[in-house]
Amino acid sequence: MILKVEGGCYSYPEGGQILNGISLDVREGRMLSVLGPNGVGKTTLLKCMTGILPWKSGRSLLLGRDIRRLRPREIWSDISYIPQSHSFAFSFSGLEMVIMGRSAHLGPFAQPGQKEREQALELMEKLHITSLSGKDCNQMSGGELQMVLIAKALINHPKLIILDEPETGLDFHNQLLVLDMIDRLVHEEGIAAVMNTHYPTNALAIADEAFMMDREGSYISGAVREVLCAENIARAFRVRVVVNEIHFKGKALKSIVPVELIPEEAEAWNEREGEDKHEERSRA
């Protein structure tokens, strides 16, 4: 067990509970995907479980130890976090950015030396991004930057990598590039991963478990194929979806296509009518 959350609750300082009684496990070599509509607190969940934000009640255990009792250096030499938005006030080169990933392993007065530099260059070569080492991070495309940030996360040699919507804003090619990379890291190198995503299809393609939150503050978690069924997605996102199964190179790929909004009244009506209506709606 790499990371365990027990009964985590969080509310914003202005009031308004956003996360309530969250419990989840992240295991070695497994990927957990977090899904849910905009504004339900997916990013907040990632921040709370790593201790960037403090749980109001409940706790996170990193390798069995309460994260609040650990020093920042102890937490972040095991976890790498790639936040969602990226803009940099200063223009660092790709190489400089990757080297910054070593910070949790260097003492407060230490400087990265030739060793860290070679490590970074080696890693960038492995990820086929050597050409980005001299490029200004502010001038990189979304895909290039995401690869550099993945390299920055990996040079930390984490046990757990946390990604906040890594594929958002990328074109098809770069989406596959980034997702394949994450897939390989988790399932071949045995790193644990937690990934926020807006795309159930991507979660189905590479995640093992899913954690889906809805607007009412409840959540469903479990094996990705069980959680991300048409009925659950319809309920959480209030859209009708069609599930397609495609076979490619002997692998069954599931794709989920949203087709129609479920109007608010219908939702209310459905709740009055009970469970059988839910099933009918998702079959449609």
Partner 1 sequence: MERKLLLRNGAFRPWAIAAMLLLPPLIAVFCCGFGRMSLPPAKLIETAFLTLTGRDADPQARAVIFELRIPRILMAIAVGGGLGCAGAACQALFSNPLATPDILGVTSGTCVGAILAIILSFNMAGIQATALLFGLFSVFVTLRLSSGKRGISILFLVLSGVMISSLFNALSSLLKYTADPMDKLPQITYWLMGSFTGASYRKLLIGSPMILIGTALIYLLRWQFNILSLSEDEARASGIHLKRMRILLVLAITMITASSVSMCGQVGWVGLLIPHCARMMTGSNNRLVIPMSISLGASFLILIDTLSRTLTVIELPLSVLTAILGAPFFILLLKRSERSFR
Smallest gap, in angstroms, from Cβ of residue 91 to partner 1?
5
Tell me if 52 contacts partner 1 by CB under 8 A: yes
Beta carbons within 10 angstroms of residue 275's beta carbon: 10
Tell me if 124 contacts partner 1 by CB under 8 A: no
What residues numbered 14-33 form the site for partner 1, per CB under 8 A? none
Give CA angle at 37 (34, 41), nearest 5°.
Answer: 65
Stretch of residues binding partner 1 (CB under 8 A), selected from 75-83, 179-187, 240-248, 253-261: 75-83
Residues 6+ apart with CB under 8 A from 22: 5, 7, 8, 9, 45, 48, 49, 58, 219
Among 3, 67, 75, 203, interactor with partner 1 by CB under 8 A: 75
The one-letter amino acid code at 128 reads H
The beta-strand segments (E) located in 219-266 are 219-223, 239-248, 251-261
Could you please report the per-residue DSSP string of 100-161? HTTGGGS-TT----HHHHHHHHHHHHHTT-GGGTTSBGGGS-HHHHHHHHHHHHHTT--SEE
Smallest gap, in angstroms, from Cβ of residue 261 to partner 1?
33
Tell me if 73 contacts partner 1 by CB under 8 A: yes
Among 7, 72, 222, 258, interactor with partner 1 by CB under 8 A: 72
Query: For partner 1, what does the binding mask look like between residues 83 and 122, x meaning CB under 8 A?
Result: x-xxxxxxxxx-xx---x--xxxx-xxxxx-x--x-----
Among 55, 81, 211, 237, interactor with partner 1 by CB under 8 A: 81
**Do the Cβ atoms of 166 and 153 come closer than 8 Å?**
no
Smallest gap, in angstroms, from Cβ of residue 145 to partner 1?
13
**Do the Cβ atoms of 167 and 178 come closer than 8 Å?**
yes
Among 138, 141, 218, 244, interactor with partner 1 by CB under 8 A: 138
- Which tokens go with 105? 């392993």
Q: Residues, the chain, total?
A: 284
Q: How many residues bind partner 1 (CB under 8 A)?
A: 39
- Residues making contact with partner 1 (CB under 8 A): 47, 50, 52, 54, 71-73, 75-77, 79-81, 83, 85-93, 95-96, 100, 103-106, 108-112, 114, 117, 136, 138
